[in-house]
Homo-oligomer: A and B are copies of this chain.
Amino acid sequence: MPAKVALICGGGAFPVVAANAAQARGEAVFLLGLRGIAGAEIEAFPHAWLGIGQLGRAFEEIGARGIKTVCFIGGLKRPEFTELRLDWGGIKRIPEIVKFLHGGDDHALKGVIKLFENQGLQVIGVDALAPELLAGQGDMAGKLPETLAADLAFARHFLTDLSAYDCGQAAVVANRRVIAVEAVEGTDSMLARVAELREKGRWRPKGRAGLLVKAPKRGQDLRVDLPAIGPDTLRGAEKAGLRGIAVAAGGVLMLDRAALAAQAERAGLFLHGFVGEAP
């Protein structure tokens, strides 16, 4: 069976999980691992390795297999231009690449999608490939406390407004107060900061308080860089003394939804998937 979808694989466990899920649905996949970034586990599938600037090579590997569809999956640190080690296919596209390396991450990623589309390829999101990897709707673990509904609404409006600046996929809010905002540091680091704020007495609620809210940026292309939560996020939320986590249903990656829900239940955290525009 010839491969139908090429997965461009970044770091973390998602590429292999997505490949397995796609295969389970009868989809033949070909994995293109980014060298130094993707894990060796991808070699369990039909695959090739690729330097991050080897655009020409990427298009060759994909074209040679008659593949028309690609999906980006897994974490990727934003590269600096000088680290790209462009091959000829990359060099030809320098003007396009330089343009999208300015500005926020979202801008950069839209540029990457465009490069692939200009090559006649269809870029699909994880929702099309393996929808079961995305957050579900409503209470996935525990129950969103009624008293936190206002905080959730506040946080969603806040994140929506931040989106205009290509910043902020996550924030911690308690009692209509922004405790922490995520920019470049990442969610885990932000949660560690909240735990520290508590230890140092800069934030002093009684007992568990507040919640982590995570969502794609408004207008974000869901075909790349979806926000994700995993076991570390739950551990971080627990250490930060939060009451739970709310994520955008269908817009946040969850590696093994059932396992995360079980972990949340054990930790006494609620895990909630919200839908639609901020109320």
Contact = CB atoms under 8 A, between A and B. Distances in A.
A266 interface: no
A204 B84 CA distance: 13
A185 B193 contact: yes
Given A197-B184, A201-B77, A167 B178 contact: yes
A202 B184 contact: yes
Interface in A129-168: 154, 157-158, 161-162, 164-168
B165 A154 contact: yes
B103 A176 contact: yes
Nearest to A108: B177
Interface of A: 77, 80, 82, 102-105, 154, 157-158, 161-162, 164-168, 171, 175-181, 183-186, 189, 193, 197, 201-206
Given A181-B181, A203-B184, A165 B175 contact: no
Nearest to A83: B204
Contacts of A205: 80
Contacts of A104: 176-178
A154 B167 CA distance: 12
Contact of A179 (B102, B175, B178, B184): B184
Copies in the complex: 2
Contact of A167 (B77, B158, B166, B185): B158
Given A154-B165, A162-B162, A178-B184, 15 more contacts: A77-B201, A80-B206, A104-B176, A104-B177, A104-B178, A105-B177, A158-B167, A161-B162, A166-B177, A167-B177, A168-B181, A181-B183, A184-B203, A185-B202, A186-B202
Contacts of A80: 204-206
A180 B184 contact: yes
Most buried by B among A103, A178, A201: A178
12 contacts: A80-B205, A103-B175, A157-B165, A162-B162, A165-B178, A167-B177, A171-B183, A178-B184, A179-B184, A180-B183, A180-B184, A184-B202
Most buried by B among A82, A158, A205: A158
Contacts of A179: 183-184
A271 to B, nearest CB: 23
